[in-house]
Amino acid sequence: AQSVTQLGSHVSVSEGALVLLRCNYSSSVPPYLFWYVQYPNQGLQLLLKYTSAATLVKGINGFEAEFKKSETSFHLTKPSAHMSDAAEYFCAVSDSGGYQKVTFGTGTKLQVIP
């Protein structure tokens, strides 16, 4: 079985500060890993994904994440927070095979303080 754990259900940062959202995964096979963002009353939008190529993955809106197998982590970062980054972020994992059944974490709400 595969799973992800997101540390911190709420994170607050000041505008312009570093954003760090933590995600640890558990998978019995090489995983594919994803970060999604969800704005209020909207569906999920893919930020970035790791599919066993480069371990440092760059996504949209200036976000990036690094796959660290030794730490089973896939933390999401952005050097400088913008007010528009305020949203809920979900880490997710799927098996490196099959049909892309995705297991999501419980989410982290990011608040950006002006």
Residues binding other proteins (CB under 8 A): 9, 32, 36, 41-46, 49, 51, 90, 92, 94, 96-107
**Smallest distance, other proteins to C-beta of residue 105, A:** 5
Using the minimum distance from each CB to other proteins, give the nearer residue, 14 or 106: 106
Residue 11 or 92: the one with the smaller Cβ distance to other proteins is 92
Mind giving me the DSSP string for 69-89?
Answer: GGGTEEEEEESS--GGG-EEE
**What does the H/E/C string look like for 1-17?**
CCEEEEECCEEEEECCC
Nearer to other proteins (CB atom), residue 42 or residue 114: 42
